[in-house]
Amino acid sequence: MAHDVRPYLTARQTTDPTLAPDGRLAVLADTTGTKQVWTVTDSEAWPRQRTFYDERVSFVSWSPAGDRLAFGKDAGADEHDQLFALDPADNAVTRLTDRPDAIHMWGGWSPGGDRVAFTANRRESDTFDVYAMAVGDSTGTATAEPDLVRESEMEGFLGVAGWSPSGDRLLVVKARASSDDDLYVVDVETGERRHVTPHEGHVRYREPTFGPEGDAVYCLSDADSDALELVRVDVETGATETVVSGGDWSLDHLALDADSGRLAFSRNVDGYADLRVGRLTDDGGAATAEVDLPDGVVHGLSMGPGGERVAATVSAPDLNHSVFVVGTAGEGADDSAAGGTGESSLATDDPLAPERWTRPSPGGLSLDAYDSPDLVRYETFDGREIPAYFTLPEEADGSAAEGEASAGEVPVVVDIHGGPHYQRRPWFRPIRQYFLDAGYAVFEPNVRGSSGYGRAYAALDDVEKRMDSVRDVAEAVDWLVDRPEIDPDGVVAYGRSYGGFMVLAALTEYPDLWAAGVDFVGIANWVTFLENTGDWRRSHREAEYGSLSEDRELLEAISPIHSVDEISCPLFVQHGENDPRVPVGEARRIADELADRGVPVETCVFDDEGHHTTKLDNRIEQFERIGAFLDEHVR
């Protein structure tokens, strides 16, 4: 490609905001090329870097006392996070855990800020137990080993969502599948566990938190709706009541302060986000006001102490990830509204104006040079309408310079998201613009199985229906080549993780559609993937994909490796040697098979990366190579 990728990949991000009692903000920022902890004292003040590692930092959380920052870090992107505490007075770091063979999943600070809770697979690699520990002083080492609160009887993902307001209980989440969760309340001293959400079938209980008095849990759930609602779950009885409904659209992020009842939540409206802040009301509803944010996506919310302020990470096609802060009791908040369970709870008055706290560098390209995608829908094989984002390069309008693509000659990258319970949304994606400026159109479908469109839509690709989603991709190509701008001989299949499987499946099932494929950390063989993925992930993945014991024949049948002789187009394969999710053997098998058959294949495997390419130099290298690969085989 004629365009240098560096100006795009040097656009910076600030994410994962957390607020201190005195108003300071901590974020993760990739200013140095990997995400590190930075703090900000005021709106758009110059930030201060707090951690200085070559490896990425995975999270940051300010203690309720404001005297410590907890953070996590792995090695080589292997996702085996260890926990640390940082003293912001002198930047001294205390290592809280030192078990590189185990994964430590952050839970939260106790209300007094003297203890932390987390889950870890220290005892058995396939099982996460619940731990609590005192946070030592800033001597550089932990003062004590963590206390085992409760051993888990359940394999797979288990996480601590937070502490009760009284500090004597923990809220624990068991993720049984991508679409099925359970909540438990665990006594910190005795380990006694109460199952809060017994249910049948698949139900999601997302972003749970204790409410006022600790007698109820508030979370986002589809227990009584196709879409995620804000619900209240009684801890004693398990009774669930809807507090706020998003109508046809899911609520996707929640922050709640248990002491004050102040809250914030965002709603996913066809991929775009709206944000509301306010408070719980005595009648079981919520009085809220809209926040005036850029048209884009809210990536996460963090409530400050006392619930007076909320920090939100926001991005849009022309806005790199930035943090905005808004008060929860602003002049626009309609405290007279009951909220209830219907659309009235989302009615707007005067939107609240947030403060922008971070303004990360846009890199080598002005933000006004970024194009916004069009939201489109195309009909697929069973009459359903599949939502997608479609962006054409500027030269496709007939204004192409000499040597650039013109109408009818525009190649297109069909960018398939991973998950599969994931959703492509209109957030900041510099690589999209890189392809556009190189003359490619970009098409990003949310095929069946995607999240954001309700529980029924997300289940349409489960187990035996897996290949229906691949057919949705083929139908997308049919829609694209009917457009007068698109070159039917220049269609590229492109995807990461589960999206990488979709690339390989599309190339084997519909080989005549594609000019080339780009597979990032994709699954080539469902059986070897499930056999070799992290022990803690297997039961969670089998619940959606099918199990080795009961569905092996199906898994073999849909594995692209067994139809590799159908692939006729060139393929680029990227992977990380330390990937704990999709082992690197998946990449090697598909690449070796194609090479043996004489199909052009190029591999890019990083020794110091895992499921994601976390280091800037590696990201630059992989996309430079992808650009050259597509230049050779597509343009």
Q: What pLDDT was estimated at residue 535?
A: 80
Instruction: Report the alpha-carbon distance of residue 306 to residue 107 in Å, rounded.
Output: 20
Q: What pLDDT was estimated at residue 57?
A: 97
Beta pairing partners, 288:
278
Beta pairing partners, 263:
256, 278
| Closest CA relative to residue 149, chosen from 189, 176, 199, 204 | 189
Tokens standing for 342? 């219907």
Instruction: Report the alpha-carbon distance of residue 612 to residue 3 in Å, rounded.
Output: 24
Domain coordinates in residue numbering, the chain? 71-81+98-356, 374-633
Cβ distance 159 to 128 under 8 Å?
yes
Tokens standing for 492? 């590229």
SS (H, E, C) 387-456: EEEEECCHHHHCCCCCCCCCCCCEEEEEEECCCCCCCCCCCCCHHHHHHHHCCCEEEEECCCCCCCCCHH
What's this model's pTM, rounded to 2 decimal places?
0.92
Domain at 71-81+98-356: CATH architecture: 6 Propeller (2.120)
Helix (H) or strand (E) holding 71: strand 69-73
Q: What is the pLDDT of residues 251-300, one digit of tens each?
A: 999 999 998 999 999 999 999 999 999 999 999 999 999 999 999 999 99
Query: Are both 71-81+98-356 and 374-633 of the same fold?
Result: no
Q: What pLDDT was estimated at residue 137?
A: 56
Instruction: Report the alpha-carbon distance of residue 5 to residue 2 in Å, rounded.
Output: 9
Q: What is the pLDDT of residues 27-66, one digit of tens each?
A: 999 999 999 999 999 999 999 999 999 999 999 999 999 9
Instruction: Report the alpha-carbon distance of residue 160 to residue 104 in Å, rounded.
Output: 11
Instruction: Report the alpha-carbon distance of residue 551 to residue 260 in Å, rounded.
Output: 49
Q: What pLDDT was estimated at residue 506?
A: 97
What are residue 40's phi and psi, to 5 degrees? -135, 135
SS3 content of the chain, % helix, strand, coil (to 5): 20, 35, 45
What CATH superfamily classification does 374-633 receive? Alpha/Beta hydrolase fold, catalytic domain (3.40.50.1820)
Q: What residues contact residue 293 under an 8 Å CB cut-off, 6+ apart?
A: 273, 274, 275, 312, 314, 324, 354
Stretches where the chain sits below pLDDT 50 are: 140, 331-348, 398-403
Q: What pLDDT was estimated at residue 3?
A: 75
SS (H, E, C) 180-229: EEEEEEEECCCCCEEECCCCCCCCCEEEEEECHHHCEEEEEECCCCCCCE
Q: What pLDDT was estimated at residue 300?
A: 93
